[in-house]
Structure 1
Amino acid sequence: MKKLLIALCAATLIAPAIQAEPAAPATAAQGVLTVKSVYSVDETVERLKADIASKGIKFFTEIDQSQLGAGANITIRSSKLILFGNPPLGVQFLSSNPYSGLDWPVRMLVVQEADGSVSVAWTDFGFIAQRYSIKNRDAQFKMASEVAASIASSTTK
């Protein structure tokens, strides 16, 4: 019991130091695409959801990561992850490589940056194709890329 209390105290002291370290932004070379939203996190999420619905794409869920952090007594900037997709399209990727299910359905992250601005980020579909060595779905990856960029652009105007 004493060891557990010491470990918990140490974790409590270390956690703020870990959180204070500035995060390096992900880059397109790492497969992450981003756009700056001109809206708040909540309004950005609502605009994304509206655009997804207008395109007839299935919306699966929204995860409020900052709320999850609060539940663990860790404060993070506002961050929401949304999952959506077109099952007839996404299943084609899964049929090429079932491990691509790690990246499907599509995910977009809406995050408040340290300077207060809001960004929308998602994984580049070309990167996903390379990651899972999917070579027989170029047209589908191109379509998915164009649709994701279009959805993200709904937050920039």
Structure 2
Amino acid sequence: MPIKRLTAALILAASAASAGSIAPRDGWAVHETSKPYEQLIEDVKAAAKAEGLGVVTQAGPTEAAAARGITIPGNRVIGLFNNDFAVKILALSTAAMIEAPVRMYVTEEADGSATLSYKRPTHVFAPYAEEGGAGLAALAGQLDRRFALIAERAQK
């Protein structure tokens, strides 16, 4: 039994180590930074507040893995939103609210720096375009601008 657990842990560690950085992809913004992981998390939170969005959720496997004796790179998903956007989006598409909060993703790189990435809100809300119409597209565009400003502030 212990050999199976050791093998599983080694496979998990190898797959986590080889997963690599977030590559640019359709609908995403990816910002490599020179900031340390913990600093970038704090700077994202401060920038979100400055741009009128609250931290609604945070999740990541790093600390729970460490408690199990597994070391993985820093990994945090930060959900951002505010009630004003929620009320306006709900008026246009109840289904679209499944996407709230919209998330930013902070990942630690092998050299100790961190990357900030996120799906652009226009990409996130695109599946609801027919239902939410031009109003939803406009709100998603406003969120795109706020997310870009958050990324800009957090990288400074």
TM-score normalized with structure 2 length: 0.78
Which blocks of at least 5 consecutive residues in structure 1 are unaligned? Answer: none
Larger proportion of helix: 2
Cα deviation, residue 7, structure 1: 5.1
Which residue among 14, 36, 52 is the counterpart of 1:40?
36
Structure 1 moving runs of 4+ over 4 Å:
94-99
Q: Judging changes above 3 Å, is the alpha-carbon distance between structure 1 residues 150 and 74 closer, same or farther for their aligned structure 2 residues?
A: same
Task: Indicate the percent of aligned positions where both proteins have the same amino acid.
Answer: 24
**8 Å CA contact 2:102, 2:121 repeated in 1:** no
One-letter amino acid of the structure 2 residue matched with residue 138 of structure 1:
A
> Which residue in 2 is equivalent to 1:119?
115
Matches within 5 A, 1:1-157: 8-23=5-20, 25-29=22-26, 31-94=27-90, 96-133=92-129, 134-136=132-134, 137-157=136-156
Number of matched pairs: 153
- Of 78-87 and 63-72, deviating more is 63-72
CA RMSD of aligned residues (A): 2.7
Q: Judging changes above 3 Å, is the alpha-carbon distance between structure 1 residues 58 and 24 closer, same or farther for their aligned structure 2 residues?
A: closer
